[in-house]
Amino acid sequence: MIVVDRPNGLRLFFALRGSILPRIFWSLATCTALATAVALSHGTLFQWKVTLTPVPFSLIGLALAIFLGFRNTAAYDRYWEARRLWGDVVHRSRSLAREVQTLFQAPAAPGPADGARAALVRRTIGFAHALRHQLRDSDAGPDI
């Protein structure tokens, strides 16, 4: 399990790792510039006064809230399924290592059978670490 320090609120607000902000920066900048232009023109466009009612904003806000709610639920479901599958991999590798230790006959003197048992347990542990590095897209060399 990954245990990280909990950052304070201000540091969390400005964290870019894992954030969507770098992907949407230009769209966000364009929208902000357009909103600034509308605010500076103060509802006047070529000598015509433009009136805006809150109804379109309410409808767009409602649709956006429903859409984001479904996206959030789907993302959490994927996260929970991944946690469940990873827990299953860890549980099964521990069970396999325990069975190998129990079911292989321990020789009276250290020999090739004891080495095979240790190698099988180490390979099981190595598989779990290799899978972890594969899923995180990192280098597995130092751990393996």
| Residue-by-residue pLDDT tens, the chain, 144 positions | 677 777 777 777 777 777 788 888 899 999 999 988 877 877 677 777 767 778 888 999 999 999 989 999 999 999 999 999 999 999 999 999 899 888 877 665 666 666 788 888 889 888 888 888 888 888 888 877
Query: Does residue 93 contact residue 122 with C-beta atoms inside 8 Å?
Result: no
What pLDDT does 110 receive? 63
Nearest CA to 125 out of 95, 103, 85 is that of 95
- φ, ψ for residue 47, nearest 5 deg: 70, 5
What pLDDT does 113 receive? 61
What pLDDT does 88 receive? 94
What pLDDT does 31 receive? 92
| Residue type for position 137 | D
Query: Does residue 129 contact residue 143 with C-beta atoms inside 8 Å?
Result: yes
